[in-house]
Structure 1
Amino acid sequence: MNQYLAKSSGQTIAEHTQDLLANFQLLKEIYPSIRVNWDLLYLACCYHDLGKMNLAFQNKLLPNGKRDPKEIPHGLLSTAFIPVKSLKKIYSKVELRVLAHAVAFHHVRNFSTISEEDLEEQVGKMKIEAENFSCDFIEEIQVKILSKKYVTFENCIYGEVNQEEADSYLMVKGLLNRIDYAASGGIVVEQPNDFLLADMNQLLEKWQTRTEAKWNELQLFMLEHQNENVVVVAQTGEGKTEAGLLWLGNNKGFFTLPLRTAINAIYTRLKEEVFTENFTQKIGLLHSETYGQYLAMEGNSNETEEYYTRTKQMTLPLTICTIDQLFDLVFRYDGFEAKLATLLSN
């Protein structure tokens, strides 16, 4: 048997993992300079859901299946598949701790009620199931409880003094979450920005059919200083929006304003004047009433649902948003790593 399920939809663990690996490759191709350990992220994608092989999880996905109160979260069980003995010949203890923690805690679950005996029992049963599992992304399946020097029932990465380890964990775990969410939602983890400067030039050409338009001093300055941090103060009507987009160029960006009404107006203007083709692949609107705004503008359809999902998962090249949609991460809520890793990637 190799049909162990990952989703109630009938998607198998192997199929879901292949979707993750496809998104991993896409992310790496679009943003190869992200400061993440790509090897650890790849391994985390491979191992993150193998713990779903356990029978309690599989039975839960059956028609009329029920949750076993003794079920151990699959993230923790998945760490038993990490072949530390062979990997420690390549990776340091710190790197293996990052990998193990990213897999164990990729979903926030409470491990405090789990006993060592329960874990040993469940891993023992899962070892039997693993004998029937094979896949293209792992050469040899091994099942063994990891030593506590790699992972425990408590996520202690942030509580220790090794900042390098914490930073690496944040990026691996955050990008694993993004890739996993994308695969689960049936969307790509990133849409490439290979259009913005061309669209801006088309906008200028359209203006030039009516007047002798050209980029002003501010806009040219921003265009020429794309690789620098810039603070600009300018009056209303000076073309700050266009200047900001020229500074962004063909990169991923977030355009923030404090008021929803202002954001709605900027979004509407840009999608109608600048991104006139395939705007749902280019620009998104993100604030507390995004879904209602999309329904009002686009109607209720599968396309609207997918567009909303892409927006919430920050896969689009340009997001027009209120600042609270980005910087709520300062409160370090459960799962904040995905958003922070996105911002640190650009």
Structure 2
Amino acid sequence: MKIDSYKGIELYAKRFKNDKGSEYQTIYQHTMDLLNNMEKLFEEYKEEIEEGCKRLQIDYQKLKYLLRLAIIYHDLGKANSKFQQKIRDKTKVHEVPQVKGLSKEVPHNFISIAFVDLEDEIEKGNITCDDFQNLLFAIAFSHDRSFDFSSQYFEKYMNDDVSKYIENQSLKPLLELLPSVPDRDKVVESSNYTYRVINQLRELMFKDSYDLSDKKVIFRIFLKGLLHRLDHSSSAGISAEEAKINNFPEKVEVYLKSKCSFTGFKDFQRKAMEFSEKNVILFAPTGSGKTEFGLNWAFKSKLIYTLPIRVSINAMYERLAKIFGEDKVGILHSDSMIYLLEKYLNLERENQELEALFDSVDLAKNLSLPIIVTTGDQIFTSALKWPGFEKVYSLFLYSKIIIDEPQSYSPESLAIIIKTLEEIINLNGKFCLMSATINPLILKHLGDCAKYVQAYSDEELKKRYSHIISIKELSILDCIEEIVEYAKQKNVLVICNTVKRSQEVYQVIKENLKRFEEIPVELLHSRFLEGQKRQKEEIVISNQRKNGIVISTQLVEASLDIDYDILFTELASADSLLQRMGRVYRKRPYNELRPNVIILSKGPSGVGKIYQKEIVDRTEVFLKKFDGNKITEYDKKELNEYVYDIGALSGTNFISKFKKAYELLELGFRADRKIEAQKIFRDVVTISGIPREIFDKNIEKINEALKKINSRSIKSIEKLELISSIRKYTVTAPAYFFAKGGASCYDKDLGLYILDCEYDDQLGLIPPKGLEQSDIW
């Protein structure tokens, strides 16, 4: 086919499926969207980005210039017949001629760099050779694609196909934006050179090339990361950055005044604004107002707020949305789409507001909102350098991050968090780590680069107490009658170390309560059907009963604003126990003389599998001297420091696991994919599925919903509503949980499994016989 025949072919970059069919966006349109999005991003955070570049000694104007070039070049490689045929639907495929002898597509990101010709720019001194290499790197790896073609095939692909599109009319206005318009003959002649360059860039990517003390590396991370963010957000039809919040403290103050008799920020909350340009480690007793400190510290920066557990993330999202507005706060975790959908449906929102839900989810996924509340695995896995990790790291040129409740992470996850924070510092990012239990490992690794802040002085901490503890050499199952007796007049919280033990406690209490039907009992853990779990979470968080019993697991420890009258808990690690105490008399003075925290030390479940035995033993040794006495906030601080003393733990499993993970990261360990990095961070692989008996009972409803979901005519919102209707029957558990019970895939597209495990409406998922349920939640 003659070259002239290629000039009139419309060159597409994207195809969007909607209720009416397919909609197309040209390469030119998509590129202009990126350029416009770039201008909005740099306009919104101009002051912060300029200041960040200045601190890092990075040329701000050069970063903008090279990013603009990367945007223009990055999709030019889509001007090839294989891609254009692939992107079209069946009615349009005939528009694109195919070249004989070209059996497979060369990824467009590799083709794009063949268009780059900046010799004049280098000669004029506008860019350096390092700048040129960084630009090529950003373009070549703007996507993670396989490289499985020979130099001969690449040369033929460029000569016989790609070169014919260079004079295409729809590409012309884009090429004219470049400092040097690509020449067809030069692109063909340089194909062999381009192939060698791609190989050199791949070597650069795979070797240990992420030394963040090197300004060239930092520049490359920002350039590539910003390109990722602009590409992803523009493809979703949203902005890379929404309008920022100019004054966090002002918004927080207005909210607090409307909510209660607010007389002003506490001293330490007010000082947060003084520390807004510093990294901060905040020690604050549970219930003292560390969230307000963190928000004041953020001041006016883009904020990433991390928490370890989904239920606490949902609660924090609700809280921050009330303060700043739903249009300013995003929520990001594995179930955030369904969570928001169910929230909208429960509130009976109008359809047009459901349309806005899609934008809200996309804005959160692309980290475009001024506040993102998220799980740690969405951010901290960047230290494992999965392909595209730069998207997250580029945020910290102008953003801050809060790490709330870090004690809930495993030693391996803690090592990843610390490593990430060390790297974020090198990228101009600021962090605020907040907890009532600061692990000494955090101070050891981050103490020199962060301001340590206590909400109250040691003298004040010695005067503050809300708990009198009792340690009993009994099992929690030995205390059922005592729990029931308290529950006749008080709200009792019972926390077990494993789901299995919580189920056992619930069964015995229900048996015991046959004489006291008026006492309500609620069991909450992670192994309930999603529909049930949501209802249970709301009951536990609202806590509107005058008396009753709630039995739970670590699920209720982190950042839930709940306040019960008395706690019965299995012996666990110091940090977990302190968090559990924080759910009792959270914001009230305790004036009684009898204990309101009862710790049961006989045969606690999960020790050795969930909690390190040496940590639990040290916790018990320290706490025994407080048996029957009040424990002040200062005592709690000393408990944590004693239990996690690095010297005393030097030969333990805890330190060994931490060191091994940290040293692997120091040596440059990398994950092949983001999902792999998230599994490493979570240290568990889970399966979400429908228990067999639940499936059998609801098979007609489920199959009818699946039939509609797979229908081509269904609208997106209807599809999500149907997915939500199926999801209420699902439960999540670790993959090893089904080693004996089994799990079979029922719908591959939805990733829907049938779980061959017993399910009980009152107890939740029952593990197969012979398998100890050792997971914590």
Query: TM-score normalized by structure 2?
Result: 0.41
Higher strand share: 2
Of 133, 138, 158, the match for 2:178 = 138
Flag structure 2 segments of 5+ consecutive residues without an equivalent.
Answer: 1-7, 16-22, 346-350, 400-777
Structure 2 counterpart of 1:201: 253
Match of 2:88 in 1: 62
Q: Counterparts of 1:10 and 1:223 in 2: how far apart (Å)?
A: 48
Name the CA distance, whole Å, in 2 between partners of 1:88 and 1:212.
61
Q: Which amino acid aligns with 2:278?
A: E
In 1, distance between residues paired with 2:281 and 2:140? Answer: 41
Task: Show the 5 A alignment for 1:113-262.
Answer: 113-124=148-159, 125-132=161-168, 133-136=171-174, 137-138=177-178, 140-143=181-184, 144=187, 145=190, 147=193, 151-153=197-199, 155-158=202-205, 159=207, 163-195=214-246, 196-207=248-259, 211=261, 213-262=263-312
Residue of structure 1 aligned with 2:324, choices 275, 283, 286: 275
User: For 2:262 and 2:37, how far apart are their aligned partners in 1?
Assistant: 45
Residue among 61, 73, 77 paired with 1:47: 73
Residues 10-34 of structure 1, C-alpha deviations (whole Å, 9 max, x = no match): 1100000000001111121223325
1:234 positional shift = 1.2
d(CA) in 2 for partners of 1:284 and 1:258? 16
- The alpha-carbon deviation at position 88 of structure 1 amounts to 2.0
CA 1:48/1:182 → structure 2, altered by over 3 Å: closer, same or farther? same
Is the 8 Å Cα contact of residues 241 and 370 (structure 2) preserved in structure 1? yes
Rounded to whole Å, the distance in 2 between the matches of 1:212 and 1:138 is: 57
- Provide the residue aligned with 1:341 in structure 2: 394
Select which of 335, 338, 342 maps to 1:289.
Answer: 335
Q: Could you tell me which of 143, 156, 168 is aligned with 1:107?
A: 143
TM-fit CA distance, 1:310: 0.9
What's 1:328 paired with?
381
3-state SS, counterpart of residue 151 of structure 1: helix
State how 1:90-105 maps to structure 2 within 5 Å: 90-105=126-141
Quote the Cα distance in structure 2 between the aligned partners of 1:343 and 1:123: 38
Number of residues of Structure 1 aligned to a counterpart in Structure 2: 339
Unmatched tracts of structure 1, length 5 or more? none
Q: Which amino acid in 2 is paired with 1:135?
A: P
Residues 327 and 283 of structure 1, relative CA distance in 2, 3 Å threshold: same
Mapped to 2, the partners of 1:22 and 1:271 lie a distance apart of 28
Partner Cα distance (2:208, 2:121) in 1: 23
Q: Counterpart in 1 of 2:696?
A: none
Counterpart contact for 2:140–2:198, Cα < 8 Å: no
How far apart in 2 are the matches of 1:148 and 1:186?
32
Question: What amino acid does structure 2 have at the position aligned with 1:141?
Answer: P
Q: Give distance in 2, aligned partners of 1:212 and 1:250.
A: 22
Task: Give the distance between the partners of 1:201 and 1:14, measured in 2 at CA.
Answer: 46
TM-score by length of 1: 0.89
Q: 2:119 corresponds to which residue?
A: 85
Which amino acid in structure 1 is aligned with residue 138 of structure 2? A
Indicate the residue corresponding to 2:14 in structure 1. 7
Aligned-pair distance for 1:258?
1.8
The answer to whether the 8 A contact 2:256-2:262 is kept is no
The 5 Å alignment of 1:8-27 reads: 8=15, 9-27=23-41
Q: CA deviation at 1:97?
A: 1.0
Q: Encode CA deviations 1:264-293: one digit per residue, 9 max, x unaligned.
A: 112112223x124xx1x2111122221221
Distance 2:24 2:374 in 1: 36
Question: What's the secondary structure of 1:18's corresponding residue?
Answer: helix
Q: 1:336 to 1:212 in 2, by over 3 A?
A: closer
Q: CA RMSD in A?
A: 2.4
1:308 to 353, 358, 361: 361
SS at match of 2:316: helix
Counterpart CA distance in 2 for 1:199 and 1:291 is 27
Give me the whole-angstrom Cα distance separating, in 1, the residues matched to 2:75 and 2:45: 25
Query: 1:266 and 2:273 equivalent?
Result: no
The worse-fitting range, judged by mean Cα deviation, of 158-167 and 288-297 is 158-167
Name the aligned partner's letter for residue 258 of structure 2.
K
Matched residue SS, 1:15: helix
Q: Distance in 1 between matches of 2:355 and 2:33?
A: 21
Structure 2 vs 1, CA of residues 148 and 18 (structure 1 numbering), >3 Å: closer, same or farther? closer
Q: Displacement of 1:304 after TM fit?
A: 1.5
Partner AA of 2:24 in structure 1: G
Alignment-mate amino acid for residue 204 of structure 2: I
Which deviates more, 91-100 or 192-201? 192-201
Give me the whole-angstrom Cα distance separating, in 2, the residues matched to 1:50 and 1:212: 57
Quick one: which amino acid aligns to residue 66 of structure 2? Answer: L
Alignment deviations for residues 209-229 of structure 1 (CA, whole Å, 9 cap, x no partner): x53521111111102221122
Please identify the structure whose Cα radius of gyration is greater: 2
Which AA in structure 1 matches 2:67? L
Return the alpha-carbon distance in structure 2 between the equivalents of residues 268 and 62 of structure 1: 42
SS at match of 1:321: strand
* Structure 1 residue 92, shift from structure 2 partner: 1.5
Distance 2:230 2:27 in 1: 15
Query: 1: distance between equivalents of 2:178 and 2:360?
Result: 34
Matched residue SS, 2:331: strand
Amino acid at match of 2:172: S
Offset at residue 51 of structure 1 (A): 0.8
